Amino acid sequence: MAQFFLFDHPLIQHKISILRDKNTSTKEFRELVHEISMLMAYEVTRDLPLTEKVIETPVATTTAKVLAGKKVALVPILRAGLGMVDGMLAIIPSAKVGHIGLYRDPNTLKPVEYYCKLPEDITEREVIVLDPMLATGGSSSAAIQFLKDRGIKNIKFVCLISAPEGIERLQKDHPDVSVFCAAKDEKLNDHAYIIPGLGDAGDRLFGTN
Ligand code: PRP
Ligand code: URA
């Protein structure tokens, strides 16, 4: 059963507030996205299965818990999802990484796909889709559908800032996908930007506008 997780950890909330500030530099923004993603990875991977293994410590033999070897794949939605990859990899270093390129057409606000490259064994992996922003939910819903069309069943979605409209859309389109957010904001404006949000995540990460 899919769930919705909102992170209330003070460190995450503090870092999200700096991220929102329009005076935060590109360098600092990038570092914060990295740090927040790393902190979120801890909770996102909470249900990874464990198995037992006999090991020798310097003083005794013991049965210890180790990860059962469930394989993970990270799939950032280009561009802005790229900013979350290294932080996640710091905690899940053996994950493979696939990429989906989507942009939101500024006139129709509909997602347009322009790139897709996924690990060959992705259907055997637990897939964590990454995008800092969940606004209308159009991009993330399309990316998840795209993965499902390729036979991928086990999917989680991780974002930094979400709008109620996007959460509702994802829960309706993909009730099987658990959603992890660092913040749930108030609403979308007339251009489907999240209010208060942080502006355009891709532009702030890469210094474009
Ligand atoms: C942003 C963001 C999401 C999307 C969210 O990407 O990174 O992918 O908008 O909006 P939605 O929930 O309404 O679809 P954008 O389309 O600006 O592309 P970019 O990452 O290349 O800047
Ligand atoms: N995409 C962004 O980068 N920011 C928003 O507020 C909405 C969509």
Instruction: Give catalytic residue positions.
Output: 104, 108, 200, 203
* Helix ranges, the chain (H): 10-20, 26-44, 85-91, 138-149, 164-173, 201-206
- Per residue in 130-176, pLDDT (tens digit) is 999 999 999 999 999 999 999 999 999 999 999 999 999 999 999 99
The pLDDT of residue 52 is 97
Of 173, 135, 133, give the one whose Cα is nearest residue 155.
173
Q: Select from 37, 133, 171 the residue to mutate for testing ligand 1; criterion: most ligand atoms less than 8 Å from CB.
A: 133
Cα dihedral 27, 28, 30, 35, rounded to 10, equals: 140
Angle between helices 164-173 and 138-149 (to 10 degrees): 20
Those residues of the chain that have pLDDT short of 50 are none
Q: How far is CA 174 from CA 71, 146, 171, in A?
A: 22, 12, 5
List 178's β-bridge partners, or say none.
156
The pLDDT of residue 102 is 87
The pLDDT of residue 44 is 96
Nearest ligand 1 atom to the CA of 192 is: 13
The pLDDT of residue 112 is 87
Q: Select from 108, 136, 139 the residue to mutate for testing ligand 1; criterion: most ligand atoms less than 8 Å from CB.
A: 139
User: What's the first-to-final CA gap in the chain, in angstroms?
Assistant: 39
Cβ(197) to ligand 2 under 6 A?
A: yes
The pLDDT of residue 208 is 96
